[in-house]
Amino acid sequence: METVSLNRSHGGVQGVYRHPSSATGTAMTFSVFVPDHAPGTRLPVVWFLSGLTCTHANVTEKGEYRAACAELGLIFVAPDTSPRGDGVADVPEYDFGQGAGFYVDATETPWSAHFHMRSYIEQDLPALIAAEFPADMARQGITGHSMGGHGALTIGLRNPDRFRSISAFAPIVAPSQVPWGRKALAGYLGDDPAAWRAHDAVALIEDGARVGELLVDQGDSDPFLAEQLRPELLAAACRDAGIALTLRMQPGYDHSYYGISTFMADHLRWHAARLG
């Protein structure tokens, strides 16, 4: 693991790191904030998965999470959204290819060579975090924004024993039913919609995935709300499954980090209460 940068912040350390990933076959960059803590203490971890076009840097620079993490004693991990570099497949469009990994393991060429973001988030990077940071991997929560909200919901629903808390900001809740998701899932996984269901929060719930509760914040002025995000589909699925969903429609907020930074501390307190 290579240290790219270290900065003191709120009494803790904000680091950016790079490592060779066995999942993607590329170098991957991620950031970790570790609050001040007593020697030997293991701290709970909150994962933040970012959205389309983003890297680790978007939330690291604009998420405004460090004060709350320092107060609550939370490690904050922000991975990249896709493999990158020479030889990694890409397209000009913003909603597919590099920067748009959708947290799936691609099976279609040329994407299957490197686009294994599900394995990266579920296996590869957690092993590194456990080995290199004072993380209590028995106490993990996950959240994310937009495409990353989709990732947080689906990864959390598939791994309920690993993640004690799951939240999201403006998530793509049913990618099988919206343009962003249909394009990505077909491109990475093929044309059979049955293969998409493990990567769709609403479909996972319909197929029996269960967690106790979810927290979602969604701006009602989000330009992607009606066509791409569809939180009402998640609300219906959770109601039918008996999952306690707190869906907060925030008046006047859009899809940007202005909204994420506004409600970030609320989410972190919510996670901390469940992580102990």
Residues with active-site annotation: 146, 222, 255
Distance CA 143, CA 165 (A): 8
Q: For residue 136, with 0-12 CB atoms within 10 Å meaning exposed, 13-18 middle and 19 or more buried, which class applies?
A: middle
Specify which residues 5 forms β-bridges with: 16
d(C-alpha 169, C-alpha 183), whole Å: 21
SS3 category, 37: coil
C-alpha 155/C-alpha 272 separation (Å) is 19
DSSP string across 186-229: HHHH-S-GGGGGGG-HHHHHHTT---SEEEEEEETT-TTIIIII
**Largest Cα–Cα separation, the chain:** 52
